[in-house]
Amino acid sequence: MITEYIKGLHILGEITSVETEFLTDDIMFKTIIDKAIFDESLNKLGEVYHSFDNKGFTAAICLTESHIATHTWPEYNRLTFDVFLSNYQNNNDDKTRKIVDIIIKHFKSDSYSTVEITR
Amino acid sequence: MITEYIKGLHILGEITSVETEFLTDDIMFKTIIDKAIFDESLNKLGEVYHSFDNKGFTAAICLTESHIATHTWPEYNRLTFDVFLSNYQNNNDDKTRKIVDIIIKHFKSDSYSTVEITR
């Protein structure tokens, strides 16, 4: 029985990419994220996707384990993303890092930076 | 005309509170957050709310300006929250801080900590 709160891992990232088709294609992003959620046995509770006039998109995906979010800015060749998985019952830190790697790879990043926060 | 990406402010927080009714009442949280979104002239695109068997709840609110999220743990008297508003067209840093204050006040926090990240 777990009697103490165990902090989860939240990774916040910024990516730059000249391959703007990935920054505008929310369907392609949804496909790879849904596959990652399935492959890592995470549980999606719901999601919001929205495309803007500038062709960028924003996504907030609510999980039993916390959330994933991304906001793209094709006119600036960049995006931000968040992957936060709690460690309730299971340690999900490896899954958090795996999903971050999938996101970085998907957007064909030229450069990226990440910050890790345990919370 | 804005030609350069201007980073937004993301505040991540942890709150402890012995007043567990606030940690279990997603309707009350939704009421105060919706009022804050309206009062600050932000634009909600959609949201996901979910209540767990342990009576905690999780919420991910997608905004034109980015996102707000919270995950509560009544059995540990705590919650995490995120408020991230981009600074596209307007500087929203004051609004980010105002919403964080509203959240901290709402949950009747005994103690809290925040981290500010510009991204």
Chain B: give the shortest CA distance to residue A117, in Å.
9
Distance of alpha carbon B76 from its chain centroid, rounded? 19
Please tell me the distance from the alpha carbon of residue B25 to that of residue B108, in angstroms, as a whole number.
13
- Cβ within 8 Å, pair A86-B71: yes
pLDDT digits (tens, 9 = 90+) for B41-69: 999 999 999 999 989 999 999 999 999 99
Please tell me the distance from the alpha carbon of residue A119 to that of residue B14, in angstroms, as a whole number.
7
Query: Phi-psi category of A77—alpha, beta or left, where left has phi over 0 and alpha has psi -120 to 50?
Result: left
Contact indicator for A70, A50 with CB cutoff of 8 Å: no
Picking from A107, A80, A114, the residue whose alpha carbon sits closest to that of residue A18 is A107
Percent of chain A beyond pLDDT 90?
93
Chain A CB within 8 Å of residue B6 CB: no
Please tell me the distance from the alpha carbon of residue A102 to that of residue B20, in angstroms, as a whole number.
37
What residues of chain B score a pLDDT lower than 70? 1-2
- Cβ within 8 Å, pair A60-B50: no
pLDDT digits (tens, 9 = 90+) for A34-91: 999 999 999 999 999 999 998 999 999 999 999 999 999 999 999 999 999 999 888 9
Partner residue opposite B14 with nearest CB, options A46, A64, A119: A119
- Half-sphere exposure of residue B15: CA atoms within 13 angstroms, side-chain side: 28
pLDDT at B2: 59
Mean pLDDT within A12-25: 97
Please provide the average confidence, as pLDDT, over all residues in chain B.
96
pLDDT at A22: 97
Please tell me the distance from the alpha carbon of residue B102 to that of residue A113, in angstroms, as a whole number.
30
Please tell me the distance from the alpha carbon of residue B90 to that of residue A57, in angstroms, as a whole number.
19
Indicate the angle between helix axes B26-39 and B93-106, nearest 10 degrees. Answer: 150
Please tell me the distance from the alpha carbon of residue A31 to that of residue B40, in angstroms, as a whole number.
34
pTM above 0.90, yes or no: yes
